[in-house]
Amino acid sequence: MEIEMKDSSMIWAIACMLAMLVNFWTTHRLLDRLQRQHPGTWTLLGSPRLGESNLGPRWLEFAKYIWTLRFREAHDSELNRLGWASLTGEAAALMFFLMSLVA
């Protein structure tokens, strides 16, 4: 029984890492889109960069922008798609991480 629990925990951990990788790529594309197509918004967010501390003020402002769905205000279908993908990726990674702890 213990082997099965370790196996399922490992599967959830791998799923978490994959979700994080996909989310990293999606967030990179979203930041790039903001900087190129919506420089005013990008500047208002503090010009966030991928790789900054996720506890820094610029990154927290960017996270708030995503989690409050403000990306929809731009009426940009590509930004909208990337925003939803980023939000979903973060939620999936969190869910997979929690499942790896309880499995």
Confidence of residue 103 (pLDDT cuts 50, 70, 90): confident
pLDDT tens, position by position, 35-82: 999 999 999 999 998 877 767 888 889 999 999 999 999 999 999 999
Q: Which residue has the higher pLDDT, 6 or 63?
A: 63
Q: Does the pLDDT of residue 4 top 90, yes or no?
A: no
Domain boundaries, the chain: 6-102
Q: Is 56 left (phi over 0), alpha (psi -120 to 50) or beta?
A: beta
This prediction's pTM: 0.84
Residues 6+ apart with CB under 8 A from 65: 41, 45, 71
Which pLDDT score is estimated for 56? 81
Q: What proportion of the chain, given as a percentage, has pLDDT over 90?
A: 71
Average pLDDT score over the chain: 89
